[in-house]
Chains A and B, each alone.
Chain A
């Protein structure tokens, strides 16, 4: 396999990384709202969030992507397929990230919030200064895992016609008749990206402060 083919795959990885990064970030923002609704005592907020999460965790991402890709034009939004892909991936990862965040908030040690209460923090301060930083710290490893999952799942956006690594590999494989070399190279590129994210995650975790049990 020539260097030129390999460099085409590497160039396509910009799309894989870009779509994944945007989806993770957007998904995180949506997940904040969702997890707040999940932790709410009011069923009016909690039930729809639970429904949303159950749906997006219970349906294959491929089906979600097809659904959104066809639904957006139907409701009158003629957007490029890249938008459909990002919307689909963001909603899916939001469901998973919301569960992680909820877990994080629920496992903030009670003693810490009580201590802050005793020193005279207002409920708002307890939330912003104690709960949020600790919950974020606790969910950091799960966030790294989710980022890796999304990087791999992003191969599915090839079905809505976005030329990221997988689609590029498919196109190259059918035009060069070298599927083994090309798909192996694509796999290698995914592997390197995933390892880089895992490594960065481990480094990040070590440099973040620890949390008392």
Chain B
């Protein structure tokens, strides 16, 4: 196995664009997932049983089935109910929904971790429900929520490789295509593994940095 570095140089623009698509899908999927996940956790907390039960069931189903099956359902099943999506929007939709299910559980645990007395204190002071969420619950749960969120972010990046199966032009698709073109499939997959590894290591380090930064605000813990 002799890898010609010129092959990488020749295909550098494609590799960069594939990496770009992966990063963009990852970040957008994560942002949407956090947003929807937070919304779901909040609705489940304040919405009563009628909202909590169906949302809880949806979260359970999303967490109990493989991402690949969910993607197939949206991509191949969508057109039958009038939702024809191109691979990229379909991938983004699938990734966001998948992320939202897991993030909602993280936020649910975050809500549960805030001592009830703090919420009651806020109520006594006459804060509105919204103010309690914004001024008490969110800041206090931030520290609890961060480590599992970073973990999930790494998992999502790795899951995004699955999108290559529905031909989203992301990193895995691009690099394995280059491998087949150049008759150097094994080398290409090695390169692919290294690129993912580097991104994951960077993300994990960034997460740890954020944790140490945030831990200076540990005023409200316990």
Contacts and interface: CB of A to CB of B under 8 A. Distances in A.
A179 B65 contact: no
A154 B162 CA distance: 12
Nearest to A184: B73
B71 to A, nearest CB: 9
B217 interface: no
Q: How large is the interface on A (under 10, 10 to 19, 20 to 34, 35 or more residues)?
A: 35 or more
A57 to B, nearest CB: 8
Interface string A144-166: 00001000111110110000001
Contacts of A85: none
Interface of B: 1, 60-61, 64-70, 72-73, 76-77, 80-81, 154, 157-162, 164-165, 172, 176, 185-186, 189-190, 192-193, 196-197, 200-201
Interface of A: 54-55, 57-64, 66-67, 70-71, 74, 148, 152-156, 158-159, 166, 169-170, 173, 179-180, 183-184, 186-187, 190-191, 194-195
Query: Helix, strand, loop or mixed for chain A's interface?
Result: helix
Contacts, number: 106
B66 A166 contact: yes
B66 to A, nearest CB: 4
Contacts of B68: 155-156, 158, 166
Nearest to A70: B186
Contacts of A63: 161, 172, 189, 192-193, 196
B64 A170 contact: no
Contact of A179 (B1, B64, B76, B165): B76
B189 A62 contact: no
Contacts of B67: 152, 155
16 contacts: A59-B200, A60-B159, A60-B160, A62-B165, A63-B161, A70-B189, A153-B66, A155-B67, A166-B66, A166-B68, A169-B69, A170-B72, A183-B76, A190-B64, A190-B69, A191-B65
